[in-house]
Structure 1
Amino acid sequence: MMRTDGHLLDNRQPEAGQRFDALAALFDPTTFRHMERFGIGSGWRCWEVGAGGMSVVSWLAKRVGPTGRVFATDLDTSWAPLAVRPPIQLRVHDVGVDEPPAEGFDLVHARLVLAHVPDRERALRTMTRALRPGGRLLVEDADPTLQPLACPDERGPEQQLANRVRHAMRSLLAEQGAELSYGRRLPRLLREAGLRQVEADACFPLTSPACGALEAATVGQVRDQLVTAGLATDQDIDQHLANVAAGGMDLATAPLISAWGRKV
């Protein structure tokens, strides 16, 4: 079924774990680099919005230690490990609707979440309000309109097919209400939310095994929607997935924009 909240990728689908692993391989180093710059350490209180595959949550838990706390929230937590121990607290939560799980956080982080939240403005206000004075907000979101191609080096039929499939997936996301140019707006939105010392940068993987793994898992999750919408045929998708598995294409992701600021 298509999601009605702007997010096509259900965490309960079999490919979700593969997507989580690929996203961690691609973007965890960037996320952790920013968090380390903030000086995260023992005793910090952190809120991870959209806990995903738990790689960021686990890293935060190690950094804050037994005296800290990591609130991990998501719309659906059925995918999470059964044994979640302190300092991690896992909760079902809709950041665009619900009040924050607590307040006084030293760090609030969301990666690849807000562009899919219908009420993004409220979500950002909620996250900002949850910070203590001096606390840091780090928001990371893709911007597919900055670089819309799966294969920027479109040199043959395999790359052309990959780009057609990527365009079809972007059409599905837009129809579901996702904001495909949200990443570039983040620095301004953080300033408008009252944060200071706002900075931003971008991560743009051009090719890696994780890019191929992410492509295969993502296309696998949305193939039914693509076919139902008439945006691709089963034959198109089978051929594209075979091309990805062959490993001969330089597959890219959309740029991930990271923006951060401090609450006064």
Structure 2
Amino acid sequence: MAELFDGVTRGHFYRLGMTEGWRCWEVGAGGPSIPEALAAAVGPTGHVLATDIDPTWLDPHARYEVRRHDVVADPPPQPGTFDLVHARLVLVHLPDRARALASMVAALRPGGWLLVEEADTELQPLACLDEVGPVQERANRLRRAVRELMTRRGADLRFGRTLPRVLGAAGLVDVAASGCFPVGGTACDRLEAETVRMVRAELLAAGLADDAEIDAHLAAVDAGELDLTLAPLISAWGRRPG
């Protein structure tokens, strides 16, 4: 994910004017790449807080602060103080997205920016755009199966397209958005393989795929036989007025 999208995310940071001295909150940070980039940009006079319900992948000795935090259940840290709050591929998985979004908005100082990035798998639901044969057809069947699992978990597969409206409804101004649509490459292959392996047991238990189909698909991915793609990543941003 970092290889595919970190460049896009960093570009938005600088487009919003991020500079030395900014205070930033990275919500649902996952890995260290974005907190590290933020810490390097804001310098010693700035501050970066990286939170996650499981901060295992974050370095507690890095130049950013690490805190275990549930953006839905816990109150916002240091409300009204952040120049930038960012979340990528977080809200789509939360049943109470509205509460999480309200917490992030409350953390902004007047004039601070919220940047939210979410996929919209219904805008482009295919694993292979060029469905030329049975290998590609199988990949698309399995992508539909994974999407079905996400839906059963409560994910909103159309959430990405709603971000501009959602940010405006949250009281933000100067709202805008853009999309990123990676196609092909080894990063897409690795992400596909890891995703399928991670949910394999659930696919089997739900009767959405069988072992032979999954094994054949993973073999095709590992062999580089597919030009895989992802759902578009929608990045939307808005500023707290005042």
Cα separation, 1, equivalents of 2:124 and 2:16: 29
Query: Among 38, 54, 65, which residue is 2:32 paired with?
Result: 54
CA positional deviation for 1:80: 2.7
Structure 2 counterpart SS, 1:52: coil
Matched, 1:40 2:21: no
Task: Report the equivalent of 1:71.
Answer: 49
Structure 1, unmatched stretches of 5+, are 1-22
- Which structure 2 residues correspond to residues 156-167 of structure 1 after superposition, within 5 A? 156-167=133-144
Are the counterparts in 2 of residues 71 and 101 from structure 1 also a CA contact under 8 Å?
no
CA positional deviation for 1:255: 0.4
Matched, 1:119 2:96: yes
Cα separation, 1, equivalents of 2:98 and 2:172: 14
Code of the aligned partner of 1:190: L
Task: Report the equivalent of 1:6.
Answer: none
CA positional deviation for 1:202: 0.3
Matched, 1:224 2:201: yes
Are the counterparts in 2 of residues 211 and 251 from structure 1 also a CA contact under 8 Å?
yes
Instruction: Spell out structure 1 runs of 4+ moving beyond 4 A.
Output: none
Structure 2 counterpart SS, 1:78: helix
Task: Report the equivalent of 2:76.
Answer: 100
Matched, 1:185 2:157: no
Code of the aligned partner of 1:94: D
Q: In the TM superposition, what whole-angstrom CA distance separates every residue of 1:133-156 from its partner, at most 9, and x where no partner exists? A: 110000000000111000011101
Are the counterparts in 2 of residues 96 and 118 from structure 1 also a CA contact under 8 Å?
no
Are the counterparts in 2 of residues 212 and 251 from structure 1 also a CA contact under 8 Å?
yes
Cα separation, 1, equivalents of 2:20 and 2:57: 28
Code of the aligned partner of 2:24: C
- Which structure 2 residues correspond to residues 23-34 of structure 1 after superposition, within 5 A? 23-34=1-12
Matched, 1:208 2:190: no
Code of the aligned partner of 1:206: V
Are the counterparts in 1 of residues 32 and 57 from structure 2 also a CA contact under 8 Å?
no
Q: In the TM superposition, what whole-angstrom CA distance separates every residue of 1:148-186 from its partner, at most 9, and x where no partner exists? A: 000011101110110011000000000000111000000
Cα separation, 2, equivalents of 1:152 and 1:30: 22
Are the counterparts in 1 of residues 16 and 113 from structure 2 also a CA contact under 8 Å?
yes
Equivalent pairs, count: 240
Identity value in percent: 58
Matched, 1:135 2:79: no
What's the TM-score, normalizing by structure 2? Answer: 0.97
Cα separation, 2, equivalents of 1:96 and 1:144: 23
Q: In the TM superposition, what whole-angstrom CA distance separates every residue of 1:212-261 from its partner, at most 9, and x where no partner exists? A: 01101111111011111111111111110000011121100000000001
Task: Report the equivalent of 2:175.
Answer: 198
Cα separation, 2, equivalents of 1:153 and 1:221: 25
Structure 2 counterpart SS, 1:121: helix
Q: In the TM superposition, what whole-angstrom CA distance separates every residue of 1:188-224 from its partner, at most 9, and x where no partner exists? A: 0000011111000100011111110110111111101
Cα separation, 2, equivalents of 1:111 and 1:220: 22
Structure 2 counterpart SS, 1:70: strand
CA positional deviation for 1:85: 2.9
